[in-house]
Structure 1
Amino acid sequence: MKYYLPAFLFVFLMVCFPDPAQAQHIDSKTNPPNIVIIFADDMGYGDVRALNPLSRIETPALDRMVAEGISFTNAHASASVCTPSRFGLLTGEYAFRTPEAARGIGGFTPPVWGTNRISMATMLQNAGYRTGIAGKWHLGLDWLTRDGKPAVLDAESGHSNVDYSQPVQVGPNDFGFDYSFIHPASLDIPPYVFLENHRILDPEVILTTDVYPRRREDTEFSWDKKHSNDQAVYWDKGVWWRQGEMSPSFRVEDCLDEITAQGLAFIERQSAETPFFLYMPLTGPHTPWLPSEEHKGKSGAGVYGDFVMDIDQVVAKVKEQLRRQGLLENTLLIFSSDNGAYWPEEEILLYGHDSNRGVRGQKGDVWDGGHRVPLLISWPKGIKEKATYPGLVSLTDLFATFADLLDQEIPEGAAVDSYSFLRVLQGDTGFVSRTEMVHHSSSGMYAIRTPEWKFIDGLGSGGFTYPGRLEPEKGGRGGQLYRIGEDPMEKDNLYADYPRVVEQLKAQLEEIKNP
């Protein structure tokens, strides 16, 4: 026997108890949320205590984000190093589609993308948002030079031909940001200057070694010395930066605090009348590991772990600023990292801390340790209950998710590798937004994964873990194939056992790379 609700009762229930996904979608258009992305540099999934009970680092602010929102257990950066990962986040595209963006770059490299490209910030501008960036750019700048030639650093002297008295000709403000306060690249790469809206602050530069000695009396070289030459400042494992020009007022140890202060100041200038987007790409915990006095010696993972505690504090400060202004309730707060941690086996054994928790490899690698990242999203007004999402997500997907949230149409040809997971934010943790993903290592080794398989088109890590690349033996395996769900450590190479799967995935990878 079937039972039918009277029409008036049905209408009453629909009005009083609307479908949560539909209600959320309507609300996000009439009262769009502020969006803040805090983007750590070289921080591992396993550093967050709530994601890894064995973490030797206390992360109370990030743990609170996990408790209040959605944590993604299978989220990946689009590449395993800085520049291509940041490009993917802001454009919704794999960086290999733009060759200039597909590799690591220095501080004097020109922009890796054209000003005609639609970025996430541009899309949000078009939706009525005020947009700002405070932090590490690392996507190239168009510097003016004293000799009219392309900007270049002389590695021996540490000097460049840049005219710091002139604004850069192309920078973040040309890619959708109303306001920008940036450091050009990583904090171990010159020049060591801040730029506000394309103008260099304190442009009368000196050399880093005018302020910092190259060595200290207690300096001992470690595994990371290979990344710096004899002209670089190298004090200890993780505590080093390359020789180069620096503003007289710039201090490497204060960079994270200055970026945080500028991000908080941007929030302070906002109000509930106009939605805003703030992108905060932090310079830590990337080298140099320079934790605050407050956190020195406080973690169980050495100086790196102490520095991660500073990153956690940035999250706490941002939330408190939003709360003071009455903006927290309707702010979509996202925390992630540009790639996995640079945390080799030596450090895991030394501290008993697995920064990339339970997966193989580290930053730079095509193995999951290179690109699996923490992704935490909270939004008090829109996400009411704690949830965990196990589905496949790329950081490129934030672009389409925001567009979907705000009912913005993505122009044809833009954000082609971005898939909306808005339904996950609306509570549907069974939703599948994508069924495959391409991974890209620091040396240009590629992989493709599906829910069951991960195929790597080459041998070795493709990155920083030894061996980076191996030539196949005659008649031997030419690549790697793993049942990734059952074998997250990528130990059992089934390449020779499933030739048809290899053939199929290789063809699928090539089709995505060369459509």
Structure 2
Amino acid sequence: MQLKNSSFGFFRLIFILIGLVHPCLAQKKAVSAKSPNIIIILADDMGYGDISTLNPDSKIRTPSLDKLVQQGISFTNAHSSASVCTPSRYGLLTGRYAFRSKTAAYGIGGFDRPVIEEERETLASTLKKSGYATAVIGKWHLGLDWQTKDGLPAKLDQKTGYSNVDYSKEVKKGPNNVGFDYSFIHPASLDIPPYVFLRNHKVIDPDIVLTTSVYPVRKERALYAWDKKHTDSLAVYWEKGVWWRQGEMSKSFRIETCQSTIVREGIAFIDSQVSKNAAQPFFLYLPLTGPHTPWMPGDKFRGKSDIGLYGDFVMEIDDIVAQIRETLIRNKIDENTLIIFASDNGAYWPEEEIKLQGHNSNSGTKGQKGDVWDGGHRIPLIMSWPEEIPGNAQYPHLLSLTDFFATLSDLLGLVSSENQGRDSESFSQVFRAEWDKPHRNDMVHHSSGNLYGIRVVDWKFIEGLGSGGFTVPAHITPEIVGPTGQLYQISSDPREQENLFLKYPEKVAELSNLMNKITNRD
């Protein structure tokens, strides 16, 4: 398979040679050789099996994502570094496993402090130093340093729904402190308060009310489903997938239009960047709020899929991809823009929904969001760069979201400081059409319930029993003569059905030792 533009290899060679001569010069010169614009569209809780081209049995139509696959590269063995939001996003931006951080290792709320360390380089800070304009628009979920009315740490009163935050004051630390020139964010997931937008660390509408003053807690004839366990009597719960926790909300904020607002802001950033300085490349990190709960697709998509609100919401995500591509075409920058589409973890799609809908969002894998099994962390990942990437290509080897830190640095000839992006391994060979060459041999998996596993080639070891996450049982006490962990040969058993733990004790010892060596590193 040949690259469309032979100049690609020339530019990359120039970047590498410059970097060998002088690392600082490499960063200064990097954007002078037609560096691509870079857009990362990160879906929230969307499964590999939701994209129709990747899953022939999908009951959701995704024409825009299908086209992205046909015109670019799809990765069939891509994984998030953890199976829930915060640690996965930390890994993507820093190139570092989140379990190395005490604060980033677990999901956090909307009032928690920043989890990205002040000295930590990120994709944004690295690209910014090389001359890129950088922006994050969408779901943040990596913590903010709120100013409070009483000078104490920000905290929500679960009984009243109110916090001690002073929304009239800028947050002291947030995305603008970790490399983003511009930020327009919602603090956390769209079912976690506070429900506000912040532009460059300032709440846009500080007139605060409770969500329950706008939305009824229950709708008439509300039917509870498997997800009711995540709510309490004070939370808004209308139906399966349509719920959010009580808390503070800007008076002008609306749950049902949050995602469309984010997309409009993203498009406006692209337009403004082109009109302001078309010669300067930009990096746009666009983390969406869907199809995470609450499942509230716009009217255009409601009832359009065959599997209810979740499927409708995925169709809206697909349309967002189309809107971004149309914006690039309209601005005549589509050919030299690298679009990366991914999800932060597997879909929250339990066996109940698979049986009910006849659709498996985490197609071909066991488990779901939160789990240490592959359904928790295997993700859809697609890249498109019309000027440089041949279409309809596949990369079948193990890949982590943490790898973008090293890959984009490698692609642009940038040099990171020592000990930055430590768990990131470059897969830049895919840009040279080297599909048969794996770039990493192992990867650590981290569940929401603190259960660890490791993949080495086609073997997977898990340190305990159970899912470690949302699938019941999360943890199983070992029997006296039974296995204490799990071992699977993924090449012949992709659904992790046959536990080989007792059959191959030497392999268990080998993988356990390797995992301990990796996780005990600084």
Note the C-alpha offset of 1:21. 4.0
Question: Counterpart of 1:408 in structure 2: which amino acid?
Answer: L
Written as runs of structure 1 = structure 2, the 5 A alignment for 1:242-391 is 242-271=245-274, 272-391=278-397
* Equivalenced residues, count: 500
Q: TM-score, length-normalised on structure 1?
A: 0.95
Q: Check 1:19–1:282 CA distance in 2 against 1; reply closer, same or farther (3 A cut).
A: closer
* Structure 2: gaps of 5 or more residues: 16-29
Question: Counterpart of 1:178 in structure 2: which amino acid?
Answer: D
Backbone CA RMSD of aligned residues: 1.4
Report the equivalent of 2:44: 41
Report the equivalent of 2:171: 168
Distance 1:498 1:213 in 2: 56
Distance 2:119 2:8 in 1: 38
Report the equivalent of 1:183: 186
Q: Per-residue displacement from partner, 1:177-224 (whole Å, max 9, x unpaired)?
A: 000000000000000000000000110100001100000002011110
Q: Check 1:505–1:22 CA distance in 2 against 1; reply closer, same or farther (3 A cut).
A: farther
Question: Counterpart of 2:365 in structure 1: which amino acid?
Answer: V
Q: Per-residue displacement from partner, 1:311-360 (whole Å, max 9, x unpaired)?
A: 01110000111111111110000000000000000101111101000100
Please state whether the residue corresponding to 1:396 is helix, strand or coil. helix
Report the equivalent of 1:4: none
Distance 1:337 1:55 in 2: 17
* Structure 1: gaps of 5 or more residues: 1-15
Identify the range of structure 1 (414-423 vs 384-393) with the bigger mean alpha-carbon deviation.
384-393
Written as runs of structure 1 = structure 2, the 5 A alignment for 1:340-489 is 340-489=346-495
Distance 2:347 2:176 in 1: 29
Question: Counterpart of 2:253 in structure 1: which amino acid?
Answer: F
Question: Counterpart of 1:239 in structure 2: which amino acid?
Answer: V
Report the equivalent of 1:11: none
Question: Counterpart of 2:194 in structure 1: which amino acid?
Answer: P
The answer to whether structure 1 residue 223 and structure 2 residue 226 are counterparts is yes
Note the C-alpha offset of 1:425. 2.1
Note the C-alpha offset of 1:25. 4.8
Query: Taking every aligned residue pair, what percent have the same amino acid on both sides?
Result: 58
Note the C-alpha offset of 1:113. 2.2
Distance 2:132 2:74 in 1: 26
Report the equivalent of 2:67: 64
Report the equivalent of 1:10: none
Report the equivalent of 2:116: 113
Question: Counterpart of 1:65 in structure 2: which amino acid?
Answer: L
8 Å contact kept, 1:484–1:490: yes
8 Å contact kept, 1:132–1:279: yes
Distance 2:153 2:10 in 1: 53
Q: Check 1:217–1:418 CA distance in 2 against 1; reply closer, same or farther (3 A cut).
A: same
8 Å contact kept, 1:130–1:274: yes
8 Å contact kept, 1:89–1:395: yes
Q: Per-residue displacement from partner, 1:88-138 (whole Å, max 9, x unpaired)?
A: 000000000111000010000001122221111000001100000100000
Report the equivalent of 1:513: 519
The answer to whether structure 1 residue 195 and structure 2 residue 198 are counterparts is yes
Distance 1:213 1:127 in 2: 49
Distance 1:508 1:164 in 2: 47
8 Å contact kept, 2:8–2:388: no
Report the equivalent of 2:499: 493
Distance 1:132 1:67 in 2: 28
Q: Check 1:333–1:205 CA distance in 2 against 1; reply closer, same or farther (3 A cut).
A: same
Question: Counterpart of 2:179 in structure 1: which amino acid?
Answer: G
Written as runs of structure 1 = structure 2, the 5 A alignment for 1:86-97 is 86-97=89-100
8 Å contact kept, 2:139–2:189: yes
Q: Check 1:323–1:25 CA distance in 2 against 1; reply closer, same or farther (3 A cut).
A: farther
Note the C-alpha offset of 1:376. 0.1
8 Å contact kept, 1:122–1:176: yes
Report the equivalent of 1:3: none
Q: Check 1:451–1:21 CA distance in 2 against 1; reply closer, same or farther (3 A cut).
A: farther
Question: Counterpart of 2:410 in structure 1: which amino acid?
Answer: D
Distance 1:386 1:26 in 2: 28
8 Å contact kept, 1:21–1:423: no
Note the C-alpha offset of 1:20. 6.3
Note the C-alpha offset of 1:19. 8.8
8 Å contact kept, 1:24–1:382: no
Question: Counterpart of 1:260 in structure 2: which amino acid?
Answer: V
Partner of residue 236 from structure 1, selected from 230, 239, 258 = 239
Distance 1:120 1:375 in 2: 17
